[in-house]
Amino acid sequence: MDNLLKENNIGAYLSKTGDEHLSEYIGESDQRVRFLTNFTGSNGLAITCEKSVLYTDSRYYLQAEKESKEYKLMKTHR
């Protein structure tokens, strides 16, 4: 992903969990955070650039530690 961003002169890519309908159950094609980070929780925000960061709240933090080892994790408040 980082190479793709650099090749196209894109400074960052922001992806959040969810779809355009705010559905509770997200279709496979709309699971962008999972595709980028391997994080399967229902609350996540990924920012990819020079430092890849995954934001999630305390409910999913331990899960994110296990699933998204290449991302710096940040805890959000609900």
**Domains of the chain, first to last:** 2-76 (3.40.350.10)
Mapped onto helix, strand or coil, the DSSP state of residue 56 is strand
Global pTM value: 0.76
Both tokens of 20, joined, read 């355009």
Question: How many Å apart are CA 72 and CA 27, to the nearest integer?
Answer: 26
What is the number of other CB atoms lying within 10 angstroms of the CB of residue 9? 6
Give the model confidence (pLDDT) of 17-68 as tens digits.
888 998 888 899 999 999 989 999 988 988 887 788 999 999 999 999 999 9
